[in-house]
Amino acid sequence: MMKLLDLSGILDEETFHEYVSRRLDFPGYYGFNLDALWDCLRDLAMNNPGIQIRLEGLADFRSRNPDWAHKAIQCFLDLEEESVARILKFDDSPSGEGLIHEE
């Protein structure tokens, strides 16, 4: 199973949590914080052996809030470190699936 997250259009923490929870089909009780992200990512990986999560648009995502983006991305990398998921990382957005915000 492959899940795509294009983070290039993410403006803030709230948008991140809304987007990720929708794209990864997190349960309704998802807590919209990094602890809840970790818990739901781990559950997703444990229930879907061999899952791959493709993270795109990382350069844009990091540019908006570098410290917080680092922590969020680290949740995904920790998942890979536990060998329960494979995380593919891209600074750009080859899929073009990111959120678009009109100025």
pLDDT tens digits, one per residue of 28-78: 999 999 999 999 999 999 999 999 999 999 999 999 989 999 999 999 999
**Residue ranges covered by each domain of the chain:** 2-89
Whether the pTM exceeds 0.75: the reply is: yes
Average pLDDT, the chain: 88
At 7, is the pLDDT very low, low, confident or very high (cuts 50, 70, 90)? Answer: very high
**Domain 2-89's class?**
alpha beta
Angle between helices 66-81 and 34-47 (to 10 degrees): 30
Rg (CA), the chain: 13
Residue 103's pLDDT is what? 40
**In contact, 87 and 80? CB cutoff 8 Å:** yes
**Residue 73: which of 1, 10, 29, 27 has the closest Cα?**
10
- Side-chain-side CA neighbours of 10 within 13 Å: the count stands at 30
At 96, is the pLDDT very low, low, confident or very high (cuts 50, 70, 90)? Answer: low
